[in-house]
Structure 1
């Protein structure tokens, strides 16, 4: 069994503090009781027509009613049918008003933009939400790995971990004096525990192997279970 993260390391582990903040967030997606009863196609402007409800429902773990629920907010914020990164950052900042969420929002956006088109469609959004909010532990860890794998080469480097963890501190409004050298020391400590074969990079197998055995990391994901 790998060594447990100490109290400071748990604060920087993926989604530990972020997930804790989400527990207090109510998503502004309207009132479920107001959903349409009919099984209609989800309409959007002609510039970007989303897939039919049943197609998105089959591709994700959301029901048709849940998809309609999210889509009402989506089309209000993104009438063109796609989300650009500036728009995504603006929406994301509403959830974390105490800090600077722009860099972390960038990493989330690029993780959702799997086709690397520079935009996120409604289907992209629902696929990401399905994995985070309704996925298995392994699916959630795979998503977390892709977040840290900034350059999408299949490995997490110390620099990538440093960038994402620094973004998490900024996101949560961490006002403590945290010089870069101190943060790097902190990241190195975490990195050593995850880099199981000490080759200088973290593979997805190493990431899943370690994180799936750490009770604190597992618990940090469980908060998403209560958001629906």
Structure 2
């Protein structure tokens, strides 16, 4: 909690953060290219070939994403440009050799550190680390599950849900984030884990966990529609339909409409 920025300070600079973040992402590729074009330092370091995404989107990928996301062709091309530059910047930041002098493999895609930077700086997703880790893990990667870097198709699909998702898509996304073990239910233990990190211990509190347990019981009453002691996706869906504020009851999973709109406007001008 010590590293978490005060929410009121973040809100005051929200639009500036989003736009500055996007401008940074759209300019880092140029800086990286200039860096690679500069004469190599002496003594020369072993070179490692960068694994860069293709310069141009393949038509079959465009057609697929036009069907499966809510982006148009121009927006997809702008997202692909951003994706390439994010990957390039991350790769150039990795040392060319490891501790034993062997070449270091370059990540082919958006790695978790880059993902965190985008969520924090561009979308103002300042939330608990446990929640942000879950957002990362729940982005669909096909057979690789929650491991590995994000390919462009996954990147575009995930952003489509975050930025333009339907109410149902947003509910499914948030539920998956909160379902820590992926068994289809948000249990009291999972609620406790999520809520404990959200509360600051007050001076004089002898047992801060007791307050968390009380909060868990309160939230459970709101979400557990069928009263079986845990929250299913159907419970969650019904509860959020009645009270939309419960959508992000256990931590921020989605960018605000303001940040989503600012980001999309920036894409449309490219």
* TM-score, with structure 1 as normaliser: 0.67
| Structure 1 residue 194 corresponds to structure 2 residue 223 | yes
Larger Rg: 2
Distance in 2, matches of 1:127 and 1:134, equals: 10
When structure 1 is superposed on structure 2, of 153-162 and 203-212 the one drifting more is: 153-162
Deviation at 1:141, TM superposition (A): 0.7
1:77-130 Cα offsets, whole Å, 9 max, x none, are 223442232432344343599977532221110111443151222211221221
Conserved? CA contact 1:29–1:69, under 8 Å? no
Deviation at 1:140, TM superposition (A): 1.0
Higher relative contact order (CA 8 A, sep 6+): 1
Number of aligned residues: 194
The one of 67, 70, 73 equivalent to 1:64 is: 73
Distance in 2, matches of 1:56 and 1:131, equals: 13
Conserved? CA contact 1:145–1:204, under 8 Å? yes
Moved over 6 A (4+): 96-100, 218-222
Structure 1: runs of 5 or more not aligned: 1-16, 35-42
SS in 1 for 2:110: strand
Conserved? CA contact 1:194–1:207, under 8 Å? yes
Structure 2: runs of 5 or more not aligned: 1-6, 28-50, 89-106, 265-270
Correspondences of 1:6-85 after superposition (within 5 Å): 24=15, 25-26=17-18, 28-30=21-23, 44-45=52-53, 52-79=61-88, 80-85=107-112
1:195-217 Cα offsets, whole Å, 9 max, x none, are 11221211111100110111435
Matched with 1:108 is 135
Matched with 2:37 is none
SS in 2 for 1:83: coil
